[in-house]
Amino acid sequence: MNIEKFCVPFGKKLNLADHQTDYTGDYTDKKQAVKDLNVNVEQLAEMQSVLYAENVHSLLIIFQAMDAAGKDGAIKHVMSGLNPQGTQVYSFKHPSVEELDHGYMWRSMKAMPERGRIGIFNRSYYEDVLIVRVHQQILQGQQLPENIKNDPNIWNQRFEQIRNFEKYLSENGIHVLKFFLNVSKEVQKERFLERIDTPEKHWKFSASDVKERGFWDDYMKAYEDALENTSTADSPWFVVPADKKWLTRLAVSEIIVKKMRELDMKYPTVSDAHRQNLLEAKKLLENED
């Protein structure tokens, strides 16, 4: 699969209408895609072990999307082979009172993965240039200085802050991958109706989900602006087709596998003294009664 076609080049105008939501590449058979996903899941599990043992790098994976695009399913299936001890998943909901009393990236900073671990954000600090931009009354309701809330350049300022923050992360060994799961409005409607018709999925749906569909075009503009201004060489955005869940999961896994290979990780080498201790320990074990 040509995953480079999903990458958003920094500084170039992005038009999400140019990105097929139902793209499947060379795959005509879902079964083959699932097989390839399983291979990637196994490889991720192996590379996670090296990541943990080496304890030099960490990986932050960010998922953003419209409702029902498949974020939960992608996380569940792509990360299914990972060791939970080395994985941290955070789902960012409406900020608490404490979180609102800090800068908009504060709660995300607390959740950054330690070295040797994989962190997964289901939504993130990008909500503050997406939903807050679409519903600007949220910004006006926050306890912020008026010159900040009413600054017409606030979004460009936040894009710059995010770029600088992610540059800082990258320079300190936290590698960032960002996925926008690009679902069509028609498929979102189908998935909403499925949730309504399936009792086991009622908990995943609320009337506000339908209300947000009324702001679809506003969200697309906000996403286009955010993605094109914050996709960099070190912290790229990928626009992943999301109408076919099996393609979404495969594409995400391919991109993560490629990134982890680029880290060129190796198991730590041991000193001669340590190796001698191992040999002595082996002898003791072999000579036990």
- pLDDT tens readout for residues 210-264: 999 999 999 999 999 999 999 999 999 999 999 999 999 999 999 999 999 999 9
pLDDT in tens, 62-100: 999 999 999 999 999 999 999 999 999 999 988 999 999
pLDDT tens, residue by residue, 32-46 = 999 999 999 999 999
Ordered alpha helix ranges (H), the chain: 30-54, 71-78, 97-100, 106-110, 131-134, 136-141, 146-149, 154-171, 185-197, 207-213, 216-230, 245-262, 272-286
The alpha carbon torsion through 115, 162, 8, 181 (nearest 10 deg) reads 70
Predicted confidence (pLDDT) per residue in 176-224, tens digit: 999 999 999 999 999 999 999 998 888 888 888 899 999 999 999 999 9
- Work out the average pLDDT over 111-132: 97
- The CA distance from 144 to 147, in Å, is 8
Map tokens 């499925």 to a residue.
194
- Record the tokens describing residue 69, joined without a space: 């695009």
Q: What is the pLDDT of residue 252?
A: 98
Q: Per DSSP, what are the bridge partners of residue 176?
A: 60
Q: What are phi and psi of 235, to 5 degrees?
A: -135, 70
Helix axes 71-78, 245-262, angle to 10 degrees: 50
Report all structural domains of the chain as residue ranges with CATH numbers, in order of start.
3-286 (3.40.50.300)
Residues 48, 59, 22, 92: is their CA dihedral positive or negative? positive
Distance of CA 210 to the CA centre of its chain: 24
According to the model, what pLDDT value does residue 205 have? 85
Give the whole-angstrom CA distance, residue 249 versus residue 242: 9
d(CA 255, CA 248): 11
Residue-level pLDDT at 208: 86
Q: Which of 193, 230, 242 is nearest to 72 (CA)?
A: 242
Q: How far, in Å, CA of 187 to CA of 192, rounded?
A: 9
With a pLDDT cut of 90, the percent of the chain lying above it is 81
Residue 252 sits at the vertex; the CA angle it makes with 78 and 10, to the nearest 5 degrees, is: 150
Q: Give the Cβ contact number of residue 279 at 10 Å.
A: 9
Report how far Cα 80 is from the mean position of its chain's Cα atoms. 15
Helices (H), ranges, 172-206: 185-197
pLDDT of 289 > 70? The answer is: no
- CA–CA separation, 52 vs 115, rounded Å? 8
Q: How far apart are CA 186 and CA 188, in angstroms?
A: 5
Per DSSP, the three-state class of 171 is helix
